Structure 1
Amino acid sequence: MKKIHRDLYAATAAPALVDVPDLPCLMADGASAPSDPLYLSTIEGMYGVAYAIRAELKPILTYSVAPLEGQWDGDPADLTSMRWTSLIPQPEQVTPEMVERAVNTVRSRKPSARVDGVRLETSAEGRSAQILHTGPFSEEPPTVERLMRFVAEQGLTVAGRHHEIYLSDWRRTAPEKVRTIIRYPVR
């Protein structure tokens, strides 16, 4: 994904517009704080499914699993109110049957990983504004404000959920070095 859609993963600290094509993605939904065990076990399950699919496709296609993405809404001041959809973009060769097989594999091998509700669906954002945020999630508001000013200056309005692409694994990276693309569909 990062090679095919470079512009989607090459954001800078300067806001920019990008055209996001329709992309097949593994998706799972929930409502919880990002630190909640429900969210963390969902991520574990989704990665397990993504890697099982990659293993199945290996005889015909070699690729790296794409970064985790998240769409969020709710009150950022009350993280327990957050509703989310986690996404991992997939190659176009992935089918719902492959996802079902991968879900069953992960369910049998990693019972702690949440795979209920993991599905293959198309993400359709189209024209979007994005910016790179470096640092802890708690320091995102000024970056989001810069992006919103840019959107308004372009004569556009936000037309979708807060979308984050996690270029760093925040579970293993120092908070000040975490790199996250923040994206909003616009019209």
Structure 2
Amino acid sequence: MTASAQAAKVDFKKELDAYQAKRGQFRVLDVPAMQFLMIDGHGDPNTAPEYAAALEALYPLAYKLKFASKRELGRDYVVMPLEGLWWADDMNSFTAGRDKSQWDWTMMIMVPDWIDAAMFAAARDQVAAKDGPARLDEVRLETLTEGQCVQTLHVGSYDDEAPLLEQMHTRFIPDNSLRMTGKHHEIYLGDPRKVAPEKLRTILRQPVAAM
């Protein structure tokens, strides 16, 4: 690969302000509308079979689209990290008790806005023909618009997020005359298969609106 070709690869984690966060700092920002591969589910991500099946469907499709974009459009990019929207009938389950069996979720991977419905359909057909993940047909291409949000960086195990979320939800947000509106959003910058739990980096985001 030539130097010019390498330079052409876009890493949206570095290009977009929405993927910037610092440990120990809550920040209010406007998140632009972005396009994602999405798949829904329910239950503890550590034990629910449908969660593992969701990832088995998302990743091959994300990489197939990346290679199609490079081959067909001459536009290369770094596959984005896994993200999740999380919610429950009782939102206290995120900060008190952490009863993950009660959680609903949408797992997502962001894709550039030049990926259209036709490219998505073609890539899904190619993945189905080769690998055929069980939940592939449940993956959709959808735009998410969050608007004004509060976010920060959590470093450590996912199970240690509760105190930081408690501070965000009950102190920073109301203290800044804001209220929570959308779903709790996490962006996983570290791979738990390769990174020690205490070194995992996760952006925690909460959509908000003025009181």
Please tell me the TM-score bracket, short chain as reference. over 0.9
SS at match of 2:180: coil
1:121-173 per-position Cα deviation (integer Å, ceiling 9, x unaligned)? 10100010001111111110111122221111110001111100000012322
Three-state SS of the structure 1 residue aligned to 2:38 is: strand
Q: Larger % of helix: which?
A: 2
Contact conserved, 1:96 with 1:119, CA < 8 A, in 2? no
Partner of residue 72, structure 1: 86
Alignment partners' CA distance in 2, 1:26 and 1:61: 18
2:14 aligned residue:
3
Q: CA RMSD in A?
A: 1.4
Q: Report the alpha carbon displacement of residue 112 of structure 1 after superposing the two structures with TM.
A: 4.1
Identity %: 40
- The partner residue of 1:161 within 170, 183, 205 is 183
What is the match of residue 37 of structure 2? 26
- Tell whether 2:172 aligns with 1:150: yes
Aligned counterpart, 1:182: 204
CA apart distance, 1:106: 1.8
Structure 1 residue 63: deviation in Å? 0.5
1:32 touches 1:79 (CA, 8 Å); kept in 2?
yes
Work out the CA distance in 1 between the residues paired with 2:55 and 2:146: 22
State TM-score, norm by structure 1: 0.93
- Structure-2 separation of matches of 1:133 and 1:9: 13
CA-to-partner distance for each residue in 1:6-27, whole Å, 9 max, x for gaps?
Answer: x222211211111100001111
Distance across 1 between alignment mates of 2:197 and 2:158: 8
TM-score (norm 2): 0.83
Which is greater in Rg? Answer: 2
Is the 1:106–1:113 Cα contact (8 Å) retained in structure 2?
A: no
2:41 match: secondary structure: strand
Q: CA 1:24–1:112 in structure 2 vs 1: closer, same or farther (change >3 Å)?
A: closer
Partner amino acid, structure 2, of 1:117: E
Which of 137, 147, 159 does residue 116 from structure 1 map onto?
137
Please point out which of 135, 142, 149 is paired with 1:128. Answer: 149
Measured in 2, the distance between the counterparts of 1:167 and 1:122 equals: 21
- List 4+ stretches of structure 1 deviating above 6 A: none
